[in-house]
Amino acid sequence: MALIVQKFGGSSVKDAERVMNVARRIVDTYKQGNSVVVIVSAQGDTTDDLIEKAKEINPNASKREMDMLLSTGEQISISLLAMAIQSLGYNAVSLTGWQAGMTTDSNYSKARIKKINTERLQKELEANNIVIVAGFQGINKYDDITTLGRGGSDTSAVAIAAALHADLCEIYTDVDGVYTADPRIVKSAKKLDSISFDEMLELASLGAGVLHNRSVELAKKYNVNLMVRSSLNNNPGTVVKEENKMERMIVKGVARDNDVARISICNIEDKPGMAFKVFSLLASKKINVDIILQSIGREGKKDISFTVNEDNLEKAVEILEENKERLSFEELKTSNEVSKISIVGSGMVNNPGVACTMFEALYDANINIHMISTSEIKVSVLINKKNADKAMNVIHEKFNLAE
């Protein structure tokens, strides 16, 4: 008998028919003699709808109250799914995050899991129940509800799989697995049979929303047997696992991140310590900075450009403007009409010229590059948002990823 953790995303439980479909799949796994713990997300667009509801009342609602609100989406799905399983004649019990022992830090809206007390989960499993747990949520040391960040149910699932030493963690979604690019944007994208933790972590962090990046981090850390597959068919999915050096590919996939914004600090003094001053200021406000570019100085002045998450643009501009005199710059220029396009592959490290091939694809398509950043396993470029989908397609084609 195996212990299997299954996670079903919002589209997999979006209406009654899908809930029943999921219930049948879960029961099938249970009937084969397995213990089953299920993590489920809010139905369809529920989380987005709840965010809209909050905005109508208070666009600057506190994060604590937002978490209280958003956690209700998952609470609806767990109860409905438990009812669906019961209607098929099997025992199921639904648990919210706190009931399932999920404790997190107090960083509302982006909380990190600290510990899972598995006592209740174990007890329900021993009673032969199918256990349905609300994804995306936990509880902090003040007994307040927290959420793990958008897409966080994947992380709930992997964390519970790790805590219970599950034999398998299956992430069920609305595509057949992890593809060489988002199949909604690149029609010729190909499903991967397997991908390494490191490559998947990069893709997820660079915008491939199929897995929450923290879930991949946890799966690597605790060596969770992780699989992504479709809730709508029985096709084999994608296995996410430790790297097999033989299978190294130069480029494994292409990702797009539209939630970025660029800030340029123009004509800042060209002297030691300026970068330190700028970025320590941003760090003190917990603003993450991504790609950084500094121009060569001229007449004692230089420009520093960098990208931040779009959500942080306003806050970053505010703090820089407040310190304009101390930093002695002339003006700020910003744009959120930009996208970051990245290629990822662990074989890149031994293959010079990969970045160049990517740039050539963009050149052929007459797409201008604003910024570039590279590491051993990825190359990212910042381009105009309106060119993002085209860029993904031409890069995907240039590297023959459809084959």
Q: Cβ 198 to Mg ion, closest distance in Å?
A: 20
Helix (H, G, I), strand (E, B) or coil at 307: strand
CA-closest candidate to residue 373, choices 299, 327, 319, 307: 307
Q: In the numeric block, which tokens belong to residue 231?
A: 């809730």
Choose the one of ligand ASP, Mg ion, ligand ADP, none that binds residue 381, judging by a C-beta under 5 to 8 angstroms depending on kind: none
Residue of 67, 74, 170, 182 that binds ligand ADP (CB under 6 A): 182
User: Given strand 3-8, what is the order of strands in its sheet?
Assistant: 92-95, 130-134, 35-40, 3-8, 168-173, 226-230, 238-241, 194-196
Buried b (16+ CB within 10 A) or exposed e, 271-289: eeebeeebeebbeeeebeb
Give the residue with the Cβ less far from ligand ADP, 229 or 302: 229
208 binds ligand ADP (CB under 6 A): yes
Which residues would be at the binding site for ligand ASP (CB under 6 A)?
9-10, 41-42, 47, 73, 135-136, 150-153
Q: In the numeric block, which tokens belong to residue 315?
A: 């806050």
Report DSSP letters for 339-353, one per residue: EEEEEE-GGGGG-TT
Helix (H, G, I), strand (E, B) or coil at 361: helix
CA distance 341 to 372: 10
Choose the one of Mg ion, ligand ADP, ligand ASP, none that binds residue 146, judging by a C-beta under 5 to 8 angstroms depending on kind: none
Residues 140-169: x/- map of binding to Mg ion (CB under 5 A)? -----------x------------------
Choose the one of ligand ASP, Mg ion, ligand ADP, none that binds residue 155, judging by a C-beta under 5 to 8 angstroms depending on kind: none
Give the residue with the Cβ less far from Mg ion, 97 or 151: 151
Q: Cβ 67 to ligand ASP, closest distance in Å?
A: 11
Using CB atoms, what's the residue nearest to ligand ASP?
A: 153
216 binds ligand ADP (CB under 6 A): no
Q: Cβ 150 to ligand ASP, closest distance in Å?
A: 4
CA distances in angstroms from 122 to 86, 340, 381, listed in the order given: 20, 43, 47
Q: Cβ 400 to ligand ASP, closest distance in Å?
A: 33
Report DSSP letters for 141-194, one per residue: TTS-EEE--TTTHHHHHHHHHHHTT-SEEEEEESSSS-BSS-TTT-TT--B-SE
Choose the one of ligand ASP, ligand ADP, Mg ion, none that binds residue 184, judging by a C-beta under 5 to 8 angstroms depending on kind: ligand ADP
Q: Contact positions toward ligand ADP, by CB under 6 A? A: 9-12, 41, 151, 173-175, 178-179, 181-184, 203, 208-210, 253
Q: Contact positions toward Mg ion, by CB under 5 A? A: 9, 151
